[in-house]
Amino acid sequence: MVSPSSVIRSAARRTRSWRTKRGRRWCKPNGCFSASNGTRHESRARRAAVTQTTIPPARRSAHGSGDVPGLAAAGVQPARLALVAVIGIAIWVAPHPAGVDPRAWHLLAVFIAMPLGAMTLIAIAVALVTRTLTVAEALSGFSNSTVWLVVAAFFLAAGFTRTGLGPRIAYGLVALFGRRTIGLGYSLVASDLILAPAIASNTARAAGVMFPVLKAIAESTIKDDPGPGRKTAAFLTLVAYQGTVITSAMFLTAMVANPLVVQLAAAQGIVITWVGWAQAALVPGLVSL
């Protein structure tokens, strides 16, 4: 049996190990930050370590301060960039399979040669320049209210991650209901259920928020009693995984694939709202949990 206080103390020790308050400055391993104006003050040891690891000796002697012009652009690798361009061009000029629209094939060439994320906007621009898509077609996705709902959920997820609110909720539930192993399991599932509507990626929710809490509990149980502790850790891991799968289906913004289901239903004339999805999934989801 795991004591909730031991779990909380373990998390607190880890927090203190990387952050200490010295007067009006907050210090971390990568430097210090002023509490008054948020200015960052890197330590001499940190600057020296960066200089030793990132600047070759020949260039370091010419620039003693370590400020090498164009160092930020040193990460660009022309060979790999050329390889990506060649792949995209090869797909563009290759014959498209039967039944595939030529514009869809060209879109594949544009997007497969570029990483996702910020480069998506560049891919849209390339699609417009090459006249693969019209302006209305390229920007049609931005008029979808479901897309903006998911974007808002990602903003909330960033807030949960930066403020540490997710782990705080989990540790609070563990402190309340974690006197027994079954209580720990329900605490993890309840935490996931609370965070699911706000974090639109089940991978980010499980790996970025729940896993650190689960890891701290598992390490504490194994340390207190190695034999049964390993079985308890395995049980809690399985519970957390299965709970994430269930909560991901209970809310429209709990998983990035859910808006796709809404769009497929809309093509059949079925309108699904966020509230309607939650109402339909509430009872079967709670029973499964």
User: Which residue segment(s) compose the domain that 92 sits in?
Assistant: 78-141
Residue 108 lies in a domain: yes
pLDDT band, very low/low/confident/very high, at 84 (cuts 50, 70, 90): confident
Sorted by sequence, the CB contacts under 8 Å of residue 96 that are 6+ apart come out as 102, 104, 105
Instruction: Evaluate whether residue 72 is within a structural domain.
Output: no
Both 91 and 33 in one domain: the answer is no
Per-residue confidence (pLDDT) for residue 246, from 0 to 100: 92
pLDDT at 281 > cutoff 70: yes
Q: For the chain, how many helices (H) and strands (E)?
A: 15, 4
Domain count, the chain: 3
Looking at residue 32, its pLDDT comes to 54
Average pLDDT, the chain: 73
Q: Give dist(CA 198, CA 214) in Å, integer.
A: 20
Question: What are the φ and ψ backbone dihedral angles of 257, each rounded to 5 degrees?
Answer: -80, -20
In a domain, 16, yes or no: no
- Would residue 52 count as lying in a domain? yes
CA dihedral sign of residues 193, 194, 195, 197: positive
Q: Which residues of 205-218 are buried (b: 16+ CB within 10 A; e: fewer)?
A: bbebbbeebbebbb
Q: Are 289 and 187 in contact (CB under 8 A)?
A: no
| Residue 192 domain-assigned (yes or no) | yes
- Please tell me the least confidently modeled range out of 120-129, 178-187, 192-201, 274-283: 120-129
Please report whether residue 248 resides in a domain. Answer: yes
Q: Does 63 fall in a domain?
A: yes
Choice among 118-122, 158-162, 168-172, 247-251 with the minimum mean pLDDT: 118-122
Q: What is the pLDDT of residues 152-207, one digit of tens each?
A: 767 777 777 777 777 787 778 778 877 788 888 888 888 889 888 887 778 778 87
pTM of the predicted model as reported, rounded to 2 decimal places: 0.49
The answer to whether residue 183 sits within a structural domain is yes
Least confident of 21-25, 45-49, 225-229: 21-25
